[in-house]
Structure 1
Amino acid sequence: MFDTIYSIFFWIGFLAVVPYVILVIYGAYGCKEQDLKKKYNAKWALVTGGSSGIGAALVRKLAGQQLNVVIVALDDQLFKDFKAKIVQEFPSLEFRFVACDLSTASGDAYLDAIKAATNDIDIQILCNNAGFITTGCFADTAEKRNMANYHTNVTACLTLSHHFLNRMLDKGLKGLVTYTSSSAGFIPNPMGALYASTKDFLTTFAASIAAEHVEDGIDVLVIHPSPINSNFYSNAGKMSALLSAQKISSPPSVVADTVCRNAGKVVVADQGIITVLMKIGLTKVLDWNVFTEIMKLAIPFNGDYKAMKVRREIKRD
């Protein structure tokens, strides 16, 4: 009886971990860099959040493969500086710049601006990269801030994906749609609930539409980067866990390299050892439901929670 139970649990563990590790090794070492311009017979790509961090690295990587790029980002100093730099770095290519805010609910304003910049060209590589984190308890954060975070991380991705997927489908074009997700979506994330939830959504959404479009020649890739040195941490506030992650971060170029290696090869790319260890330790060794209960019991002792939780004076009638 004991041998049977042991055998069952052995095979459960084996099937949960070993195929995953093989897939990770394949994505990281078995896939060679691909020329996306040639792979998709493409001339143009579009990158959101393209003026800094991962977005800027994606722009440079795609431009390095001789793709023209539409760069969508907030109209701030980073955008102005990057605009001047990128045209100097790649003088033989064409860039189009769309300064807009992706945090609005309807998306009409930024979609109209992006349509105006792309109606005469075919976008065959769409990188949904823009996103940010809001730290602190959900109820303690202003509603407008929460919704701006949600719309940037989720709504904009859906709006742009729907538009450009339909354009590719109507013209019978091959293409690639990517999403920058996060390992934060693997587990419950108190003090970063909205970020983790939106990234979890992106992963499931990307995996779902990947199956829908495989016969159309349109690849979908969602990436879970390990900590990346970018402006992402400017929103970390007092959250020590994020500040610690920044100390072991890698350059944004590793994500761009992952896109070129894994496009059309895998759907979900867990980039870097931190993400892989989190996936194994927190989703395969320990059950998600159990982890949730542990989190609930442990959170009162967490330093970030103690520092950021707003203690309110109770209002009495």
Structure 2
Amino acid sequence: MNLIITLIGIKFIIFLILNYILPNILIMGSRDQDFKKKYGKWALVTGSSSGIGKSISHRLASQGISLILVAKDDQYFNEMVNEIKNKYKSNINLKFLSIKLDLTKPESVKELILKLKEFESNKILKINEIRILFNNVGYVTMEGFNQTSYDNDKLKMIQCNTLTSVQLTDYFYRIWIENKININNDDYKKNGVIIFTSSIGAILPTPFSVIYSSCKSFLSNFATSLSLEAKSNDIDILAVQPGRVDTHIFDKLPNLLALKFLKLMSQKPDDVVDIMFRAAGRYGIVIFNSGLFAQLSCLFSNLFGINLTNNIVYLISKYILTDYSQYRKINK
């Protein structure tokens, strides 16, 4: 019996070291990679108006990378575009192109690609030079599954959180494979990089946010599977799964006790972006859980399994976080 307990303990320690301790040590001990030197001089960032997308854009611009900024037409986007142009106006080689699109709409990616082709025909850029893609855009509502119509917020979340990323990945991935970088003659080391902003909801069951967490689960699995093919094409893939991040995406959500609790362990957008710039194409990392809540949630789920985790989340939601009961009153 003692031997069995010892072996279980050793296995647990090895599990913690390989899956949690070592990856965190590697990332914390690393510096930002030079994306311009590694991938190229152009990047496209969706959901770039605020939060993580805004932080990504500033980090790229600070490395001398020209940007195609994509977001819906609102005050945050207009302010962000003006801010980044003014901050880096001394660098005459930097270009900032903004495309105002609502990426919750089915035809939005086609419109985006047409706009890129228009830029190319006007000799503003070459699409083949866009080698950095941040699939960052997100859209979330928080209510019961039966409280929104399929044609409304459900489809918007599926389009924005899943299909938009797949469509853009498909478009650029094909271009990069057809026009591979020649490492003997070109300045760059890799054919490209695709980084996804996922969520710990991809792992942790999330009541009253069923479609959002399901979309993020798809996104993380999509990134993981695609990375196996992408390696042979010198394309780096990374999905970051944060917990609560201080962004505007949560502004319209109800002020629940659960969200207040998560805010105590929330991250700044820069914390998530640090991981993106340090982990992409390094250490064999394809999925990284960002923040204390995300790390603990993943550890709990791995230790106790999805069925027990699911039941515990249910009990917490029903008996401890009693303000969830307000969802029964919404839209009735």
TM over 0.5: yes
Q: Which residue of 2 aligns with 1:277?
A: 296
Q: 2: distance between equivalents of 1:203 and 1:289?
A: 20
Name the aligned partner's letter for residue 168 of structure 1. Answer: W
Contact 2:139 2:156 in 1 (8 A): no
Unaligned runs of 5+ in 1: none
Secondary structure of the corresponding residue to residue 236 of structure 2: strand
- The equivalences for 1:159-198 within 5 A come to 159-173=167-181, 174-198=191-215
Equivalent in the alignment of 1:25: 24
> Equivalences for 1:1-317 in 2 at 5 Å?
2-3=1-2, 5-7=4-6, 9-40=8-39, 42-91=40-89, 92=91, 93-106=94-107, 107-117=109-119, 120-121=126-127, 122-143=129-150, 144-173=152-181, 174-265=191-282, 266-280=285-299, 282-301=300-319, 302-310=321-329
Aligned length: 310
Q: Distance in 2 between matches of 1:297 and 1:246?
A: 21
Quote the offset at 1:12 in angstroms.
4.5
- Show CA shifts across 1:282-305 (max 9, x none): 222221112223334554323242
Which deviates the most, 184-193 or 60-69? 184-193
Deviations 1:248-268 (A, max 9, x none): 433211222211111111211
Cα distance in 1, alignment partners of residues 45 and 331 from structure 2? 42
Partner SS for 2:251: helix
User: Counterparts of 1:182 and 1:68 in 2: how far apart (Å)?
Assistant: 27
C-alpha spacing 1:175/1:304, structure 2 compared with 1 (3 Å): farther
Greater mean deviation of Cα atoms: 54-63 or 302-311: 302-311
Percent sequence identity over matched residues? 28
- Once the two structures are TM-superposed, the CA of residue 244 in structure 1 deviates from its matched residue by 3.2
- Answer yes or no: is the 8 Å Cα contact 1:61–1:257 preserved in 2: no
- The answer as to whether partners of 1:53 and 1:229 remain within 8 angstroms in 2 is yes
TM-superposition CA deviations, 1:152-200 (whole Å, max 9, x none): 0000000001001111111103111000011122221101111111111
Q: Which stretch shows the higher mean deviation, 190-199 or 104-113?
A: 104-113
| Partner SS, residue 70 of structure 2 | strand
SS, match of residue 32 in structure 1: coil
Q: Residues 147 and 331 of structure 2 are in contact (CA less than 8 Å); yes or no, is this contact kept in structure 1?
A: no
The structural deviation recorded for 1:28 is 2.4
C-alpha RMSD of the superposition = 2.2
- Pick closer, same or farther for the CA change 1:105–1:307 going to 2, 3 Å: same
Structure 1 stretch displaced more, 227-236 or 245-254: 245-254
Q: How far apart, in 2, do the equivalents of 1:238 and 1:53 lie? A: 19
Q: Structure 1 residues 35, 98: CA separation in 2 closer, same or farther (over 3 Å shift)?
A: same
